[in-house]
Amino acid sequence: MGNKLRVWWIPQIPMKPFTQAVTNLAEAKLLLDTLALYDEFQYNNRIKPDYSNMGGLQEYDEVEKEWLDWMDSDGYDFETYMENLSEVS
């Protein structure tokens, strides 16, 4: 995949998102899962009292010159795409 990809993560809504470049979908999934587990760890160990997080995957659109939410060729967002893969496996 030659496209530019990045994960975005908001650990506490509302706030500015954290972003990190990734090279492929597997790396994106690993990073998103790790960030979610880390937030849960902090909550369970009373490091932060509560949280409302969210994240996703974006792809850079060379034509529009902006980051857009990633979608597969069938129009599914990243979360749905990964859920569909899990159901097939």
The reported pTM is 0.86
Helix (H, G, I), strand (E, B) or coil at 44: helix
- 9-65 per-position pLDDT tens digit: 998 889 999 999 999 999 999 999 999 999 999 999 999 888 799 999 999 999 999
Structurally, the chain folds into a number of domains equal to: 1
**One-character DSSP codes across 25-42:** HHHHHHHHHHHHHHHHHH
- Where does residue 38 rank: exposed (0-12), middle (13-18), buried (19+ CB within 10 A)? middle
Give the range of the structural domain holding residue 55, as residue numbers without chain letter.
5-88
Q: Three-state DSSP class for 9? A: strand
> What confidence score (pLDDT) does residue 1 get?
42
Q: Which residue has the tokens 């994960």?
A: 7
Question: Residue 83 pLDDT > 70, yes or no?
Answer: yes
